[in-house]
Structure 1
Amino acid sequence: MKAWSRWQDWVTLVAGLYAALSPIWVVGASGATPALIVLGALIAITSLVALANPGVVATEWLNVLWGVLLFVAPWAVTYTEGQGASWTSWVVGVVTVVLSLTAVPASRAAHRQVIQH
């Protein structure tokens, strides 16, 4: 697989950027701001690494972890009263987990291809 070609990583990159920047436009996100910025940035950075190095399977699993953490953040950090921030966390978390899991087989194939050459 060629670098910068996996669509799942492009979507998770955009989703991570959206989460990281969402405190700018999400009303009532004050308690959620650190979680959204940090986890959104981690998703975006990990997606960039996955795009540049499609055979590194760990990046997909890291994004699964960041997505799960972002999904549970409204309860863990207690910002469920902020609907905009909560829904951003839940939607971006689910999108990140689902797309990262669907990218794992392609990442494993790219990893095997690099090892064989």
Structure 2
Amino acid sequence: MKASTRWQDYAAVVIGAFAALSPLWLDTSVGARWSLIVLGVLVALVGLARMARPAMATADYAIGVFGVLMFVSPWVMDFHTTTATAWTAWVVGVLMVLVAIAGMPAMSARMHGRGGVAAH
């Protein structure tokens, strides 16, 4: 078994760890704290799982779903008025979705010239 060398996996771990640790320096409510910690840990764990098992393509979809959940969490958990915490959730959520899209099998094939689209 070969370990992953995809930048998306490393990015997911870093982004997830950042989100999970951000309540240490942000002024958060209980809902904000748990949203950031739980979703951050889940993304980091999925990134680590993808590193260990590179063939696990569903990990990219999971990261995308967690990214969407992170993005909507300020409204759902009612911390959208806490500026720094809400912006952290929004930015991290968007980054998670972008990493997930970049890592999806169809996108990876296109980026490497294997998706039926000629590489230029």
Please give the range of the TM-score, normalised by the shorter of the 2 chains: 0.7 to 0.9
Partner Cα distance (1:55, 1:19) in 2: 26
Partner Cα distance (1:108, 1:52) in 2: 18
Larger Rg: 2
| CA RMSD of superposed structures (Å) | 1.7
CA shift for structure 1 position 82: 1.0
Moved over 3 A (4+): 106-109
Higher relative contact order (CA 8 A, sep 6+): 1
Residue of structure 2 in register with 1:60 after alignment: 60
> What TM-score comes out, normalization by structure 1 length?
0.84
User: Residue 15 of structure 1 aligns to which amino acid in structure 2?
Assistant: I
Partner Cα distance (2:35, 2:63) in 1: 15
Structure 1: any 5+ residue segments left out of the alignment?
Answer: 110-117
Residue of structure 2 in register with 1:76 after alignment: 76
Partner Cα distance (1:72, 1:80) in 2: 9
Note if contact 1:9-1:100 (Cα within 8 Å) is conserved in structure 2. Answer: no
Which SS does the other structure have where 1:39 is aligned? helix
How many pairs align?
A: 107
Q: Percent identity?
A: 41
- 1:37-116 counterparts in 2 under 5 A? 37-105=37-105
CA shift for structure 1 position 108: 7.8
User: Residue 60 of structure 1 aligns to which amino acid in structure 2?
Assistant: D
> What TM-score comes out, normalization by structure 2 length?
0.82
CA shift for structure 1 position 12: 1.4
Structure 2: any 5+ residue segments left out of the alignment?
Answer: 110-120
User: Residue 9 of structure 2 aligns to which amino acid in structure 1?
Assistant: D
Q: Which has the higher helix share?
A: 1
